Structure formats: C-alpha cells, structure tokens
Structure 1
Amino acid sequence: MTCGGKLSVCSKVAAFLVCFLVSGSFSGVQAQRNKASHVWYFGDKAGLDFNVNPPAVLTNSAMNAFEGTASIADANGKLLFYTDGTTVWNNQHQVMRNGSGLMGSANSAQSCIIVPKPGSQKLFYLFTTDATGRGNGLRYATIDMTEPGGDVVDKNKLLYTPTSEKLTAVLQQNKRDIWVMSHQHGTHTFRSFLVTSSGVGPANEFNLLGGIFPPASEATDAIGCMKFSPDGTKLAVTHRATNTVRLFGFNNENSSIIPFPIAPFAGSLNPGSSPYGVEFSPDNSKLYVSTDAGTKIYQYDLSSNDFATINASKTLIGQANLDPTNPPTNFVGGSLQLAPDGKIYFARPASAHLGVISNPNEKGTASLYIDTAVYLEGRKSMMGLPAFIQSNFTYTYDVSFDINCFGEPSNFAFDAPTSDNPTFMEWNFGDPASGAANTANTLNASHHFSAPGNYTVTFTRHIGNKQETYTITVKILAPPVVDLGPDRWVCPGTEVTLDATTPNATYKWSNGSTSASITTTTPGTYWVDVTIAECTTRDEVKVSNYSLPTVNLGANRELCEGETIELNAFNEGATYLWQDGSTNSTFTVTKAGTYSVEVTSKDGCKKSDEITIVYNPLPIVNLGPDRDICANTTTTLDATQPGMTYKWSTGATSPTITIATAGEYWVTLTSSKGCSATDIIRINHLPLPIVNLGPDETLCSGDTKLLTATFPNSTYLWQDGSTNPTFVVTEAGKYWVDVTNEFGCVVRDEIWLPYLTRPAIALGNDTTLCYGDTLVIGTELPGNIRYEWQDGSTDAFFKVTKPGTYKLKAFNQHCEADDEITVRFKDCIGGLFIPNVITPNGDGLNDVFFIHGLKEDDWELVLYNRWGKEIQRIKNYKNDWAPRSGTTGMFYYLLQHPTTGRSYKGWLEALQ
C-alpha cells in the first residue's frame, strides 16, 4: 500500500490487519468528508446547518416551499444555492441570475435534486419534477457557479413527460458518475439517467411487470417519494394507489432494477395508509416509511434478506402529534431524509419542529424517534425536506490521521456514522508510558505521545459479529527547544530584547520578523515559531508594562478664604517627594501657591504632577440687628451686593425679601468665585390692640347706633377724623376706626351700616263722611311692603263704611311705620260732604279739596277769591284742586252739575 493519510478496508472478513508506516509530522492529511449535504433549506423559510453538532437552526431563507426542495454546499460545507424546483436562490438568498421560471413545482414530493457535473467544481445540473403527473414532466437546468452568485445558463430541458413526483440519485459504481432515477407516471416504467463529465446521458428504461409495480394513472397516484440506499444497492418506491412500498435491488454499475430479494412480486411492503416518505438507515439495514398523512413512521428490518421476515419486522417507531392549523388541514405526508450526523429527520407538516430518528441503525423502537427534536426558531417545516445524492451519506470506514511533532497532540479518526453502535471500540497508541491515556474509546481521538520515537497505533472495533483492526506506525519527531524566558514586566518605554537563537533553525515572529531576536518597547504578547526540519516549536512571552503610579492632583483650584485642601498622591507601596521636601502621601494646602509631587511606585516607575491653588475673599453680609415689628405689618430684609447670588432660609434667591412672620431668618451670599458667607436676624412680633365694631347691620330711618372701639392705652382715629373711643351713627355709610396701642401698632376695623326707609304711610286727617259713603284709605307703596290693619287684614287699602278709628302698620323688612285716622259719619244732602278746611302743606294729609261722595263725571267746580273774583274753573272735577304752593286764605266755590242742574256753593279755608 502507498503511504498516505487514509486506510481503505479491502475486505469484510471477521478480522483483518492493515499496516501503514507514517514518518515525520503531517499537516492536512486528515481525511475530510465531503460536506455538500451539510446545509439544508426547506419548508416555510426554515433551514439547518450540519457543519456543527448538533445542527444550527438557520432563519435566513428566502424560500417558502410546501413540499420538496434541494440545496447544495461546497466540499467545505459553505452554501452554494438552494431551490424549490421553480426558483433558484444563491448564497446571499437572492434569486440567481435567470433563476426564476423553472417548470418544476414546490408542491411535488421530490420536486428537485442537484447533481454536480463530475470533474467540475463550478457546473451543476438541477433536475425538476412536476406535481401530480402534470405535463411539465422531468426536466433539467444547468447552473454555472463561475461568477459570484451563480447563473442559470440553460433551463427547462425536457427529458420526458409525464413523470411522477419521485426522484432520487446515487453514485455509479465508479464513484465518480451519478445515476438519477425517476418514474414515468401512469406506467410501470422507471427511467434512469447517468450524469458524467460529458453531461446528462440518455435514458435507461426499465419496464417492470405490472405485478411488481402496477400502473396507476390517477393524479394523486403520482404523489410520494423514492430513495436509494446510501450504498446504492437498494431502491424503495412508494405506491400510493395500493398503499404499499416497493423494494428493489439496484445494480449501480448499469442501473438495472432487481426485485428484492431475487423473487418476482416479493418486494411489496404494506406500511399503512398513504405512504409518502421513505429512507434507509446509514448502514443500509433498515427502511423507514412515513404514512397516515404524515403522522406515523414505520421501520422494516432488511438484514434477513427474507421478504416474509422483512414484512413481519414492520414496527411503528414514531407517532407525530402535528401542530394544529386554522383552518384544519389534511396533509398527504411528511418526508424522511438521512443527514450528515447519521440521523434521519422527519418533516412534520406545518410544524415549528422537526422529528428525528436518533439511532436509525438500531432495531425497532431502539431507533428512538423524538417527535419535536428540533425547534425551527419561528420558521416552519412543511411536507418536504431537501433531496441529496444518497451516496453522500455512506461512510468509508477508514482511519484518518494527523501526526504532529512531540509535545503536540496527534489526531486520529475513524469514518463511521455516530449511529453505529459497536460493542467495542478502542484506539491503542502503542505508548504504555502515557498510562491510561494510551487508549481511547471514541471514533475521533487525540494523543500526546510521551517521547519522540516510533509508535504502532491500532484501532479495533467489534460490530455485529465482526472484529475490525487497523494498524499504523508513526514516527514522532522532537521539536526544537525554544525559551523566550519568563513574562517581562518593565516600566513604560523600557527596551526589551527577546532572543530565540537556536542552531540550524529558521524563525518567524508574531511581528513578521525572521531574525533570531527582536527588541521592543511596546507591551504585548510576542511569539516565535522556531523550525528545525519538519518540526516547529512556538514559544511566547508577554511583555507588560508596570502601571505608572496614579498621580492626579486635579486641575488648578480656586479656594475661598479660610478653606484648606488635602492633596492626595497615595499609591500602594509608593514613595513621595513634595515641593517642600516632605515625603508623606498627602499634603495640606492652607495658602496660595504651586504644589508638586513625584511618586515612585514599588516597581520603581515614577510619575509627577503639580497644581496651582488661588484663594478668593468671602462676601460681607449684614442684615442688621434683630427687629421688633407689629404682628400685622411686614419688614424687608436687604442683602444686596454686586455680583452675588442669594439663598434665603425661605428658599428665595432675590437680593431682598419681605416677611410678615416672626422667626429667625438667614441669607447666604455666594460670590462669582463660589465663596459664601451667611448672616442671621431675629424678627419679633409686638402685640396688637383688639378692636371689633361688630358685624355689618341694616338700620331703619330715624335710628342711631353707638360704635365702641375702647382698648386700654390706645388712641383712636375715626373715618371723619374724630378721636373719641366711641362714635354715634345717624346716617347710612361705611364707618372705620384705627386703634393705636402704646407700641404704635395699629389695627383697623370697619363696619357697613346701610339704612332702610320706613314706609311713608298717611291715612289723612280725621274726617266726617255721610252715612252711606265709603272711604278707601291707605296707599300701595313700592317695594316689598307688608301691611297690617287694626282688624288684622293685610291689604294696602281699607274700605271705611262706618265710624271709628282705623290703624295701619306698614313694614319694610324690619322697619315699621304706623298711622291712624278717625272717621265720623253724619247725614248729608245729596249724598255729598264738602269740607270747608284744607291744609295744602305737602304732608299727604288733607292737601286737596276732596268732596266726599263726588263721582268723577260732569261736575264743574268754579273757585272765587274772597272779593268774588273767579280764579279758576274746572270741568270734570276730579277731587284734586289745591291753591298754589304757599297760598292760604279764604276761597268761595260753586259746584254744579250741568246735566242735572244740581249745584252747591260755600266757602273753603286753606291753612298751612
């Protein structure tokens, strides 16, 4: 065998030995699996990244696919592009140039698959299927990744039509070319296409017997999946019309389909209603089928190669409890897909989770289905998962290794899926001196060899009934000895020389230098790689600066007269030198000047600082002596000075305040330099005289009121200037008095005394009426006047019909007036009573010549003076005549009625 970094198992016997000699130190010879299938995009913007374990959830997808998808990464696991069969997105999640309008369908179970062109790292073929056997058929497009972002240079090239939704691919036996397998809808015909370095080859057609794969032409019969086993020896195909899965052998040299086992009509499995997804275990020994609208997963054990036994091995290993949808949705199934981590993932339709078969190589429920194993972080799984070339999930079962020089770990790995469960697995590094570290029981192992030299490394595992043993011999070289010395601590700016001189060596420093030594004043971590032959030793040293002392006396300061300040330069373990030679860590400043200190740290590093101190005077503030003020007065406190701010005990900030309350008051003045001074004053209250003229009061016309303001040791001043302690009120008005006590404190009180006018009532002079006459006495006065007659009646008027004395009281609120009249009766001629005396003095009593019994109609009154001269003639007399004001004397009258001829004459005396 040729020496290299990988061992190939040449035969599958119970035990075998592979010997391999490795000398020196190797870098990069460790075999690495192709990671083309490590990035998945599917469903409603969901994704997984299998470059880490467990896989990372991706949330950057631009795709929303209901069923099948495909994605591909480069050999290192970096995404190239992904698709749903109608659109292609690049690794920036943008539609690729010419990447829309493909004639596949995102509603096809296996809508698409990506096949790299053999021999090229830039060209890929994208095969697409239509949904439910419609006319678009099986087509392919060419994708060129030469330019960033890629380009669809040729698309929708028809291979045949109609096709079902079933599509899968596997490596040809030469491990270079790829078979793409499809099924023609409505027939029992399968077509395969070999993709080589020359492109997509012609179809290989296989017409199976109808009993092996019965034709089914309904649109829904096209639904379902088809998968190759990872080793390319088996093919499983769903048959929805019969609710079966057909299992075949496959010759991946010439793409012939063989009934499995080699017996006609024997390959029909009956998993249940509506089979949809199918997948093989990594070791090709188990087949998994999803049924019942994506809610159940069954396992078949294929290891017996006996079909009756295989059918009998049917085991329900998973039950999916799907997320509820609104409105409820009946899905047709959920895809199964083998992953790079050796697990099988299940697409739970319209779900925030994926299901996972954790140990797919194990039999029955030991395969361990977990229903909500992967949370998609807000994205959704639908019915499909990405399709891949199934050979990507087969394993080499080879040893790979990375041998390093002494002192560094050498790495060993065995390429097998983690789902393999060997009963025994051990690395023996042939290094007994390493003690318990000489063996390891994992697929990947690292070992620190205990000394330079040759070692025989053996990997052994027991799996099934087989023991496999791999042996290699490695040589561990001694690396050069490099010692840059201990980490260095220096004061800032100090030069440090690092020397790695070693005979016959080459050098590479962290700063790019290739000399044996370097000199620096910059702190940092420095390393050097010293190489002799194939071994490199790296040493590093950290150059650190001691911290300078922390010295900060602060900015220059201005202090106020009387203040002191302590300058503090304290540093743990330091020494100090101040401007005056003192050596304490602190210095107290009491006067203006410049102050400096030099601080030397315990590591010998020095730092200085200085500060200038200026002193400012304090404000002068004087509120004067304490003051006595009358309790009802105010006083102003004045602290005004130029350029000051003020703060009073009252909270005021003005130069002056006016106060009325006794107490202690202070003010603080602060200058523009921040210097403050305070003064305090006491304000005392003198007692006040007590004066109370009483409440306001309404008097009646003619009333008087005595106001009294008497208070001991006081003087008085009334509103009219009088100075007596009392005042007599005789008319309406506002009255006040100022009372001044012996301390000069004045208190004023005032009172409002309005007057109400008593009702002006006049019943007239006593009079004599004729029997049969009626005299109405009284007057209705304006305002709300209340009346009360001698008989208790309350009208404004009273009718007198008989002799007597009649009395009236009238009330204006609480003010009262009264009057009375005596009325006598006598026998009269003609029903008239003519008085002979009147008193026209304006008092409202007997002011006019009133003829009792006179009806106001056509009576005419003629008046003569005492010499018989006519002085006035009044027609239609209305009982209202009186002589001119001030006129008295004797008058003669003639009263006549022109119509009846009645007439009366006599004399009338007018008195004052």
Structure 2
Amino acid sequence: MKKIYITIVLSLLPLLMFAQGENDNWYFGNYAGVRFTGTTTTLLDSQRASGFASGTVSDNSGNLLFYTDGSQIRNRAHQVMENGLGINNGTAWQVSFVKHPTNPKQYYVFTSNFPGGIVSYSLIDMSLGALGTNGEPLGKVVDGVKNITLFDDLGGSYSSFGVTVVPHADGKSVWVCFPRDIKMYSYLVNASGLNTYPVVSNMNITPPTSYYNAKVSSSPTISSSFSNYISLNVWAGIYNESKVMSFNNATGKITNDYLLSIVSLTPTTTEFNKDASILYVGMNGSGNIYAIDMLSSSTSLVYNQIYNNPNLECYAIQRNKYNDIYINYRDRDYLSKIYNPDVYGGSSVMLNAINLQGRTTTESLPPLLITADNPCPDSYTLTVPETYVDHTYQASNTITTHTNYIVEQDQNIRMKAGNYILLLPNTQVRYSGTFLAKIEDCPSTIRQARKTDQKISLTLDLTKDAKADLLDIYPNPATDMLYIKSNSKIKNIEVYDISGKKINSTWSDNKVDVKSIPSGAYIINIQTENGKITKKFIKK
C-alpha cells in the first residue's frame, strides 16, 4: 500500500532562515572561492585572476550563475559571459548586483570606478546566451544595456569610489547608493525597473582631496528614527577618516540623526553584524580589528580591540548568508573569521578559518545580493509539475496549487506561508516524494533600536590608540596564572568563554588567576587607560 505523509506545522515565532541560495557562493581574489551550504567548502574552479571588485550571484537553489572582478563577467561554466568583457571599461573598485523585482531572470550590475571614470550599470539576462550542459542558458549581458551612464540630478556624469544597496521601506524595492564628494545619489529599483533619476542628499562631510581606495556599505535594517547605517571608508594615505551615517530607506536620503567619524593613521574597512548592534573595524596598516558597541554608544563610544597583528593588512570584512563575518587579509591563502560576532565583549578572531588551498586573497570579498527587506513574495500559484529536486517556497501570504502540480518521487518540497496553503484538486504528491506544508511568517532580523530625538555625533580617534597595541599575554596556553605585559595602566579585566558567557576570575598586579577555570579557549578583555583590547588564550 502506498503511503504519502503530508505534515502541517503551525509556528508562531518567525525564524531566521535562508530558503534561497543566491549568496551560497563567493568567488574572489586570485582564483579563490568558497561555498556556504551548512558546511563550508573551498572552491577550486574559479577563473578569476585578480581585480579590485568582487561579486557573485547564484540561483535560489545555490547553483552558481555568474561572478565578476568588476571588469568582466564569467558564467557558471567559468567562461566569459556573452558580451561580458569590458564592464565599466575595466576600472571598477566596487560592484553591486540587484535582482529585478519582477523579472527573476534579470540582474542589474552597478559599478563604481577610479577617479576620472564614470558611474554606470549593465543588465544581465539569464534567459539569453548559449545553452550550458544542463540545457539552460548561460546568460548574456543585454545588447544596448551595457555600461550605461548614470547621471546626477543636474544631468551630468560623475565618478564614485563605492556603491551599496539598501532595501526600500516598502519591502519590495531597493535603493542603489553612490557617494560623490559631499552628496549621496540614491537610485530606486522597483517593479518597473531602474529609475535613473537619483534622490540626492547631503552627507555632511568634508570630502578627501585625493584617495587611492574606498568602500561604501550599508547595515541591516533597524527600527529607529532612521532605518539603516551607511558606512563610508576612504583610503587617503597618511590621514584616513571613515564615516558612519544614518539613512532613511523610505526617502533614500542620508539623515542627520547619526554620525560617527573614525580617524586613523592607516585605512579602515568596516562591517556590521546581523542586526547592526556591533560595527567591526579593520585596519589596513596593522591588521587590527575593533568592535564598536552601537547600542551603548550614545554619549561616548564603547569599543574594544579584538585582534592585532602588525604583519597583516586588512582589506575587507564581509558578512555572509549565515551572518558569519569573514576577514580578508591581503595576499593570504586563507580567510579569517570573527567568532561570536553578535556578542559584544565576547568576539574574537580565528586567523586561518578557511584554507583556500593555494589560492590567495586580494582587495575585496563579494557583497551580499540584496533583493528587498522582505525576502518573501506575497503569494505563489503553482500549476505545473515541480522542477526542483529540493526546494522551499516561502510566501508572506498564500501558496496555492492546482491543475497539474505534481511532486514526483525523490523530490523534497517545502511550502511555508504566512496565511494559508491551499492544495486544490489535481495536486499530486507521488510515492517516495516528500512534501511539507507549514504556516510560518517570513523571517525578520530587524533590530528594535532605541527611539530618540537625540542627534548623535561621535568620533573614534585610532591615531591615539597606537599605544594600546603594545600589550601581550603569556604564557599562552596558561595553567595557573596568565600574565599581562602592557605599556599602559590596566583598569579592568574580564574573561569570557568562547560562547560569550562571562567567567568569574580574579586579577591583580597585571596577572589573572586562571587555575580554577576549566580547560578550553577563552576571551580576555583588558581595559587600559587607552581603550579596551581583546585577546584569546588557552587554559590547559
């Protein structure tokens, strides 16, 4: 007797999950690649040789579609995509992809450039191009929609050193943001496509007179008097100043609610954790990594140093689909990783987290593909036999099947909807097919931040933090006592386990008694008169 089991599950709490696999793959550096699908896999098939910019897009199931170094686009067969040479005339510093909100086969490619170039976009259509080994098209950069100039509000072309994408407040559209001097140009991509007339806002900053590299990035959405942070990192040589500004995703404008200035002797790069409660700052000249507590920093900054290594150059920090944060130290055969990125005071750096197996890093890591703040469409109506082998449909409202919807044997299909799932006559789930129907809201990671009319303006001066780098702990591993060598006066010491739980410990005269602590790995936060430093030690 054939048996088919259909399970209906009610879930009252939204879950953080990734039903879609567009961000499963990273291609970057010199022939380097990584795949994130539960377990992390090093990829060895990249044909990317170098380049400043990085970008990778996969389909909903995590199958590679294309990747770029900012000058050429390669398809899933690792060949140059049809019409994919000469993107932005080969001068891109940063690249962002945007999936067309109503045409899932089309992707916009936005590129920033070196001084003297112009901001432009191209359009990829995955329904075009030669057929691959699976019989599906390999994609093509659309004729007539390649390197199209984007104009400012006065109709002039301009150059920009960075580009980032922010979900719109409507949950369906996105903003594509380019900084230029003191202004931010925000272009709306909605159901109708790209609106090439920008929304313009003042960034309230003094632009650098010259620079040799830069990056702009956005935070996850928060619930506050503004919706997102925009981080602007400018590498200008002997004096470098990064900015973190507030952004309103309903208007597309920079606001005056929040401004953080980060001053340093060497360039910096930044990344937010999953809910923008912590900002991580990497130092290009020293390899140092700092963590800033964004929730607690209202009248003064709360921050600490979680790693330092004068022999490394931090060129990029990037969050992946699982909200893990990876560090790109230039010209290395590994990626580093921030452990416990959501626990302020409990995070640390693992240097060799992913071995790239002989491939090496360069200047950047691929940004996340952002479609909209709401990752779910309103509804699905399915009427033809299922083509996915393993897939999750998730809708904010309903899913309906009828006519000739069939789940065949050995297919694994999950459906999740916020309101209802309706299986009408002629819906079939055949023997050995697996089907799960579940009532569940779309996932949300929006942080409920403090709501206040207070305008916040803060400065982090890392030029004065150089003294704090002269600190060491020994022996490591430790058995009874852990000694601290510092050129600055120590004001407080805290010890945490690797999960972020605070451990009871006693200290005096620059030494910590660890003999009663169980064996394992620990984080020690050392507060000196120059700031807070975080280091990792092993208790034997």
State how far apart, in whole Å, the 1-side matches of 2:252 and 2:193 are: 17
How far did residue 395 of structure 1 move? 8.9
- Matching residue of 1:167: 163
Preserved contact between residue 25 and residue 34 of structure 2 (Cα < 8 Å): yes
Letter in 1 for 2:290: Y
State how far apart, in whole Å, the 1-side matches of 2:201 and 2:363 are: 30
Name the SS for the 1:224 alignment partner. strand
Preserved contact between residue 247 and residue 260 of structure 1 (Cα < 8 Å): no
- Matching residue of 2:307: 318
State how far apart, in whole Å, the 1-side matches of 2:329 and 2:432 are: 53
Preserved contact between residue 224 and residue 276 of structure 1 (Cα < 8 Å): no
How far did residue 276 of structure 1 move? 3.6
How far did residue 321 of structure 1 move? 6.3
Which residue, out of 162, 173, 177, partners 1:181? 177
State how far apart, in whole Å, the 2-side matches of 1:384 and 1:155 are: 23
Distance 1:390 1:151, change over 3 A: closer
- Corresponding position: 1:278 with 2:270: yes
- Corresponding position: 1:123 with 2:112: no
Distance 1:39 1:5, change over 3 A: farther
Distance 1:300 1:6, change over 3 A: farther
Name the SS for the 1:174 alignment partner. coil
- Corresponding position: 1:61 with 2:46: yes
State how far apart, in whole Å, the 2-side matches of 1:299 and 1:31 are: 25
How far did residue 205 of structure 1 move? 4.2
How far did residue 208 of structure 1 move? 2.3
Preserved contact between residue 296 and residue 302 of structure 2 (Cα < 8 Å): no
How far did residue 248 of structure 1 move? 1.5
- Matching residue of 2:25: 39
Letter in 2 for 1:255: G
Letter in 1 for 2:246: G
State how far apart, in whole Å, the 2-side matches of 1:391 and 1:142 are: 15
How far did residue 347 of structure 1 move? 0.9
State how far apart, in whole Å, the 1-side matches of 2:374 and 2:311 are: 31
- Matching residue of 2:450: none
Name the SS for the 1:163 alignment partner. coil
- Matching residue of 1:301: 293
Greater Rg by CA? 1
Distance 1:395 1:136, change over 3 A: same
Name the SS for the 2:315 alignment partner. coil
- Corresponding position: 1:193 with 2:177: no
Name the SS for the 1:165 alignment partner. coil
Letter in 1 for 2:56: S
State how far apart, in whole Å, the 1-side matches of 2:311 and 2:358 are: 16
Cα deviation code 1:545-592 (max 9, x no counterpart):
xxxxxxxxxxxxxxxxxxxxxxxxxxxxxxxxxxxxxxxxxxxxxxxx
Preserved contact between residue 65 and residue 106 of structure 1 (Cα < 8 Å): no
Bigger RCO of structures 1 and 2 (CA < 8 A, at least 6 apart): 2
Percent of aligned positions that are identical: 26
Preserved contact between residue 189 and residue 205 of structure 1 (Cα < 8 Å): no
Distance 1:360 1:394, change over 3 A: farther
- Matching residue of 1:257: 254
Preserved contact between residue 174 and residue 372 of structure 2 (Cα < 8 Å): no
Distance 1:6 1:294, change over 3 A: farther
Cα deviation code 1:841-900 (max 9, x no counterpart):
xxxxxxxxxxxxxxxxxxxxxxxxxxxxxxxxxxxxxxxxxxxxxxxxxxxxxxxxxxxx
- Matching residue of 2:84: 99
- Residue segments in structure 2 that go unaligned for 5+ positions in a row: 1-6, 129-136, 152-156, 222-226, 377-418, 420-427, 438-540
How far did residue 104 of structure 1 move? 5.3
Preserved contact between residue 286 and residue 310 of structure 2 (Cα < 8 Å): no
Letter in 2 for 1:346: I
- Corresponding position: 1:346 with 2:327: yes
State how far apart, in whole Å, the 1-side matches of 2:343 and 2:74 are: 37
State how far apart, in whole Å, the 2-side matches of 1:322 and 1:234 are: 31
How far did residue 369 of structure 1 move? 1.1
State how far apart, in whole Å, the 1-side matches of 2:106 and 2:288 are: 39
Q: What is the 5 A alignment of 1:363-762?
A: 363-364=344-345, 366-389=346-369
Preserved contact between residue 62 and residue 93 of structure 1 (Cα < 8 Å): yes
Preserved contact between residue 224 and residue 238 of structure 1 (Cα < 8 Å): yes
Preserved contact between residue 81 and residue 90 of structure 1 (Cα < 8 Å): yes
Preserved contact between residue 322 and residue 349 of structure 1 (Cα < 8 Å): no
Cα deviation code 1:782-823 (max 9, x no counterpart):
xxxxxxxxxxxxxxxxxxxxxxxxxxxxxxxxxxxxxxxxxx
Distance 1:44 1:8, change over 3 A: farther
Distance 1:94 1:393, change over 3 A: farther
Distance 1:373 1:529, change over 3 A: closer
Q: What is the 5 A alignment of 1:782-797?
A: none
Cα deviation code 1:643-677 (max 9, x no counterpart):
xxxxxxxxxxxxxxxxxxxxxxxxxxxxxxxxxxx
Distance 1:357 1:50, change over 3 A: same
- Corresponding position: 1:230 with 2:220: yes
Preserved contact between residue 118 and residue 158 of structure 2 (Cα < 8 Å): yes
Name the SS for the 1:115 alignment partner. strand
State how far apart, in whole Å, the 2-side matches of 1:207 and 1:334 are: 28
- Matching residue of 2:485: none
Distance 1:304 1:60, change over 3 A: same
- Residue segments in structure 1 that go unaligned for 5+ positions in a row: 11-17, 19-29, 262-266, 324-330, 397-471, 473-505, 509-527, 535-912
State how far apart, in whole Å, the 2-side matches of 1:354 and 1:248 are: 28
Give the number of equivalent residue pairs: 361
Cα deviation code 1:94-150 (max 9, x no counterpart):
000011011254662x2x11111111111110011112x2x2221100101003111
State how far apart, in whole Å, the 2-side matches of 1:316 and 1:105 are: 37
Distance 1:66 1:294, change over 3 A: farther
Preserved contact between residue 242 and residue 268 of structure 2 (Cα < 8 Å): no
Name the SS for the 2:39 alignment partner. coil
- Matching residue of 1:362: 343
Distance 1:207 1:393, change over 3 A: closer
Name the SS for the 1:103 alignment partner. helix
Letter in 2 for 1:157: I
- Matching residue of 2:530: none
How far did residue 226 of structure 1 move? 1.5
Distance 1:46 1:7, change over 3 A: same
Letter in 1 for 2:76: N
State how far apart, in whole Å, the 2-side matches of 1:394 and 1:282 are: 15
Preserved contact between residue 39 and residue 72 of structure 1 (Cα < 8 Å): yes
Distance 1:358 1:392, change over 3 A: farther
Which residue, out of 59, 76, 85, partners 1:74? 59
Letter in 2 for 1:235: I
How far did residue 38 of structure 1 move? 1.2
Preserved contact between residue 180 and residue 194 of structure 1 (Cα < 8 Å): yes
Letter in 2 for 1:115: V
TM-score by length of 1: 0.37
Name the SS for the 1:387 alignment partner. coil
State how far apart, in whole Å, the 1-side matches of 2:218 and 2:323 are: 16
Cα deviation code 1:660-717 (max 9, x no counterpart):
xxxxxxxxxxxxxxxxxxxxxxxxxxxxxxxxxxxxxxxxxxxxxxxxxxxxxxxxxx
Preserved contact between residue 118 and residue 149 of structure 2 (Cα < 8 Å): yes
State how far apart, in whole Å, the 1-side matches of 2:167 and 2:361 are: 29
State how far apart, in whole Å, the 1-side matches of 2:372 and 2:308 are: 28
Cα deviation code 1:315-353 (max 9, x no counterpart):
221235657xxxxxxx6x511110112211111101001
Preserved contact between residue 230 and residue 394 of structure 1 (Cα < 8 Å): no
Letter in 1 for 2:231: A
